[in-house]
Structure formats: C-alpha cells, structure tokens
Amino acid sequence: MFSNQYMQQAYALACKANDSGEVPVGAVVVYKEKIIGAAYNQVEVAKNPLAHAEILALEQALAFTCTKYIEQCELYVTLEPCPMCAHAISLAKIKRIYFGAYDEKGGGVVHGAKIYNSSSCHHHPEIISGIMEDECSRLLKNFFNNLRR
C-alpha cells in the first residue's frame, strides 16, 4: 500500500547520492510497513557499475528475509529502473514498484527495454509511476547540469 513517507525516504537517499557525487537515485524496500532495504547509487565510490540503488536495497532486503524471493515487498525508487535493475526486481519477485522520475533514455520499465513486457520475464510487478516526479526529476536535472559545467 502506497505511503509517501517511503518515497520521501528514497528521495532523501537520492540527495545523499547527489552530495557524494553519485547519480542521485535512492531506493527503499518495504515489507509490512517496515524498511528492510535502503540505499543510494554507489557506482563511483564502489567503482562498480552494478552498485545501483535498487540492487543494493534488494540485497539488503534479501539478506534481512533470508529468502530468494521477496514477493510481499514493495520498492520505492526515485528513478525508473534501468533494464538491469528491472530484471533483478523481477527475479526477486517484488510485488510493486513505485518510482518518481521517468528515464526516457535509460529506463527499462516504461521506456527502453520494457523488461516486464518481454515473454522471457516471468514475474511482472505492479508499477505505479510519477510519484514525486517533479522533485526527483529536478534533482537529476540539476546533477547533470552541474556535471556538465
């Protein structure tokens, strides 16, 4: 069930990513109204292209539950997941994704690869998009504008 507080927490994590020079994306995994995974992008600091907020939050949630599927969990993320993250979300069998900003160039859910429309995708989470879209988009635009300067 949607709660704006979780998206606000994902946004706060995205701001932390921004402050540390990472692409500002934050994610939280929620189970029964409890956050069991929370992360922001750490690609630069970890020197790891897989260290996306969603992947790191999923890893925490899976470790918390000690299971390979977290089908009763919901994911709140500030940016439309990329194809890699979208597929990982499917593999973990997340129940529902709430995301903020759309990613027309690199998205994997509504744009681009549209992972959940593929016949090879066996789990299709419910998707609710555009949550805090203005704030999430503005944070990303400011980050990339500052990067270009």
For residue 98, CA distances in Å to 46, 72, 126 come to 26, 14, 9
Per residue of the chain (149 residues), give pLDDT as tens.
Answer: 678 999 999 999 999 999 999 999 999 999 999 999 999 999 999 999 999 999 999 999 999 999 999 999 999 999 999 999 999 999 999 999 999 999 999 999 999 999 999 999 999 999 999 999 999 999 999 999 998 88
Tokens found for residue 117: 């429309």
Residue 101 to residue 122: CA distance in whole angstroms: 25
Q: How many domains does the chain have?
A: 1
Cβ atoms within 10 A of the Cβ of 118, count?
14
Output the domain CATH number for residue 114: 3.40.140.10
- Supply the range of the domain harboring residue 130: 5-148
Cα 97 to Cα 53, 73, 75, 80: the distances in Å are: 14, 9, 5, 9
Catalytic residue, chosen from 22, 33, 54, 59, is 54
In the annotation, is 71 catalytic? no
Q: Binding site for Zn(2+), residues?
A: 52, 82, 85
Distance CA 105, CA 112 (A): 7
Residue 45 CB neighbour total at 10 angstroms: 12
Phi and psi of 28, rounded to 5°?
Answer: -135, 145
